[in-house]
Each structure stands twice: as structure tokens, then as C-alpha cells.
Amino acid sequence: MRGEPQERINPNFTIAWEKALCRGSATETWYPTRGQSVPAESIATCHRCPILQECADWALRHEHFGTWGGLSERQRRKIRRQYRIKCSAPESNLLGYASLWR
């Protein structure tokens, strides 16, 4: 089951995660192993989701791994570079964090 992200910076910031269409789906669907793509039906789920924009914004600022808000890890890295967005996920925990989902 896909877990809900924990707010790391502003505890007053809330997203209606209970409205997420991915809620309750298999984690593997959103965290493909290296070299694999996220299934097209998963991306389609994102694009129908009522919290797509909030999820994508969250991911740009807080998530290094997985598919969030219809964006892959690679797509988020590109957007972060282009707009100079910093990701708050600690670099030192990246390997441990990723192993939870792979």
C-alpha cells in the first residue's frame, strides 16, 4: 500500500490525500525499479486525480523517488533544475528511503 507523505517543513500545509486516486494502490505501481517505466494506466490515474496539482507541487519540493502528480523522478529533476527548486528530502537518507519502495 502506498503510504501518505509526511509534511517535513510546514505542519500547517495540508493536502487532501484522502482524495488521491492512487490511495490504496500497490506501491510498485508508483515506484518502478531502475530501468522500468511507470505503467501508462498509472499516469492516466494521475491525470484524472482531483489533487494532481497539489501532489506534483509536493513532489517537486519533497520527493526524490517514485511517480507523484503524474511526474517521474527524471521529469521532476528536470523541472527542479529549470526553476531552481530545492527538494527538502535529506540527501543522506536517499538510499535508505528508496529501499523502502523498491
Please, which pLDDT band fits residue 49 given cuts at 50, 70 and 90?
very high
pLDDT of residue 99: 41
Average pLDDT score over residue span 57-80: 93
Cβ neighbourhood burial of 86 (10 Å; 0-12, 13-18, 19+): exposed
Give me the phi and psi of 5, to 5 degrees please: -65, 150
Q: pLDDT value at position 16?
A: 87
Q: What is the pLDDT of residue 91?
A: 54
Across 72-99, average pLDDT = 76
Contact 1, 24 (CB under 8 A): yes
DSSP class of 29: G
As beta bridge partners, residue 71 has: 68
Domain boundary assignment for the chain? 17-101
| Overall pTM > 0.85 | no
Tens digits of residue pLDDT in 8-30: 444 445 788 899 999 999 888 89
Which residue intervals of the chain are DSSP H helices? 40-48, 52-62, 73-83, 94-101
Average pLDDT over residues 20-46: 90
Q: Residue 95: what pLDDT?
A: 43
